[in-house]
Amino acid sequence: WFLILGLIERTDKKEPAIYDFLQKRVFYKLTAKGKAEVTAWEDPISVRHPEFR
């Protein structure tokens, strides 16, 4: 869901799977939109009411 919503994007970093029957590991990073969402979750009051900062 995070990828569909544009909150994360894939990086070029990939690692082999720990076991053969698993898929290789793919890494993601936050987009600017994702970072804004994280800020809103960390401090919802100041996001909604910036006058309280």
Q: What is the pLDDT of residue 9?
A: 96
Structure tokens at 9: 């994007």
Strand positions, DSSP E, 3-52: 8-15, 25-30
User: Which DSSP helix (H) or strand (E) runs through 39?
Assistant: helix 32-42
Could you tell me the residue ranges of all domains in the chain?
8-52
Indicate whether this model's pTM tops 0.85.
Answer: no
Q: What is the pLDDT of residue 36?
A: 83
Q: What is the pLDDT of residue 24?
A: 93
Q: What is the pLDDT of residue 47?
A: 72
Task: Give, for all 53 residues of the chain, the pLDDT tens digit.
Answer: 888 889 999 999 999 999 999 999 999 999 999 888 887 788 878 777 878 77
Phi, psi of 21 (to 5 degrees): -85, -5
